[in-house]
Amino acid sequence: MAAAHVLAWAVCVLRVALATVYFQEEFLDGERWRNRWVQSTNDSQLGHFRLSSGKFYGHKEKDKGLQTTQNGRFYAISARFKPFTNKGKTLVIQYTVKHEQKMDCGGGYIKVFPADVDQKNLNGKSQYYVMFGPDICGFDIKQVHVILHFKNQYHSNKKPIRCKVDGFTHLYTLILRPDLTYEVKIDGQAIESGSIEYDWNLTSLKKMEKFSAESEDREQKREDKPQDWEKHFLDAGASKPSDWNNELDGDWPAVMLQKPPYQDGLKPEGIEKDVWLHQKMKNTNYLTEYDLSEFENIGAIGLELWQVRSGTIFDNFLITDDEEYAENFGKATWGETKGPEREMDDIQAKEELKRAREEDEEEMLLMDKLDGKENVFKRFHRRNEL
């Protein structure tokens, strides 16, 4: 058993060592967070953030995060990290959000930006790669946004994903895999998954892209090659028959032979180099250009949103290529404080209820005293009249 435990521990350590963590923020160093995060100055009316763990929490220091502080404001803040591409890799985006104020209308989502984003001028028009997280407004909008940028357009997941609407901290995780599958988790539990190609209504775009590439291919072949040179080449030993009349019979069609496709570096047997007419025309650009979940220059994460009532706390930001690392990070942060947070809220609720009852009792006693004095006054006034 001991050996198995050691082996499991070693595998876990190796897994963590192999994970690439592009960005991780827990706000454990006090006010030094201001050296890493840049508040946008695009608008003087933008709301400000402060570091807070809120009115109730699981751990006073570990639960500190960026909290919105002003009602009816737009917010825009971001942090940079070393640029990277997720091409051919899994991309995991994760964070916690707590609507302590019981959100009535406002955003709780995050955005992942290109490395060249203008942080000082961050605003609603700033291009982003991914927008992910809860959005609440009234009774109708209580959803998790998953928006991807592709071909200069933003594409939303067509599946409705319901978000949490209570005042506790929740862990949101988005996983984009290189096989074009995705998964959305809340509090470590998968609530939606599927195909990026189909769940974002991108199949029509892919078909259009492929059709356009194939059309260009055919057009190029018509211009450069009147026939399919992928499969044929001229029969160098063939000659025009002596009785062929061009005026009556038309141009003599060259005799073609069929051979396997030519490959670079291989010389076709029995054919002179100058008559080899093979030209590779296969267009594969549409495959590499159609990267539904691949982004070349990821380099910043931020909050760009609107809130009617402030008080939301954002914490435990993570961008990595390893799903298991993200799961373990979630357990070590949100997983450790979620229970104590609810316990503290429950204690506060009971204390508040107790205070309310005591205030009601005091009010009743006061009313009784006032009623007693009024009765005494009435009796005294009646006796004087007599």
Which CATH number characterizes residue 110's domain?
Answer: 2.60.120.200
Amino acid in position 208 = M
Pairing verdict, β 21-25 and 91-99: unpaired
Contact 47, 309 (CB under 8 A): no
List the structure tokens of 156.
């939303």
Q: Give domain status of residue 329, yes or no.
A: yes
The pLDDT value recorded for residue 255 is: 63
**Cα angle 299-149-127, degrees, rounded to a multiple of 5:** 55
The pLDDT value recorded for residue 372 is: 65
Count the domains in the chain: 1
List the structure tokens of 313.
């706390």
Q: Give domain status of residue 350, yes or no.
A: no
Q: In terms of residue numbers, what domain contains 111? A: 21-203+292-345
Q: Give domain status of residue 258, yes or no.
A: no
Instruction: Name the residue with tokens 């995780």.
Output: 173
CA dist 123 and 44 (Å) reads: 12
Contact 314, 27 (CB under 8 A): no
pLDDT tens, residue order, the chain (386 aa)? 455 544 444 444 555 568 999 999 999 999 999 999 999 999 999 999 999 999 999 999 999 999 999 999 999 999 999 999 999 999 999 999 999 998 989 999 999 999 999 999 999 999 999 999 999 998 889 999 999 998 889 999 999 999 999 999 999 999 999 999 999 999 999 999 999 989 987 765 555 555 455 555 555 555 554 444 445 555 556 666 766 666 666 676 666 655 555 455 544 454 444 444 433 333 333 333 446 789 999 999 999 999 999 999 999 999 999 999 999 999 999 999 999 999 999 999 898 888 878 777 777 777 777 766 666 556 655 655 65
135 is in an annotated binding site: yes
104 is in an annotated binding site: no
The pLDDT value recorded for residue 201 is: 75
The pLDDT value recorded for residue 278 is: 37
Residue 127's nearest CA partner among 114, 108, 110 is 114
In three-state secondary structure terms, 296 is: coil
259 is in an annotated binding site: no
Q: Give domain status of residue 16, yes or no.
A: no
Q: Give domain status of residue 318, yes or no.
A: yes
The pLDDT value recorded for residue 136 is: 95
Q: Is 142 exposed, middle or buried (0-12, 13-18, 19+ CB in 10 A)?
A: middle
The pLDDT value recorded for residue 243 is: 66
- pTM of the full predicted structure? 0.72
What's the alpha-carbon Rg for the chain, to the nearest Å?
A: 34
Q: Give domain status of residue 125, yes or no.
A: yes
Q: Give domain status of residue 198, yes or no.
A: yes
CA dist 41 and 48 (Å) reads: 11
Q: Give domain status of residue 242, yes or no.
A: no
CA dist 146 and 171 (Å) reads: 15
Phi-psi bin for 133: left (phi > 0), alpha (psi -120 to 50), beta? left
DSSP string, 84-107: E--TTS-EEEEEEEEETT--SEEE
CA dist 109 and 143 (Å) reads: 10
Contact 97, 126 (CB under 8 A): no
The pLDDT value recorded for residue 284 is: 36
CA dist 140 and 286 (Å) reads: 39
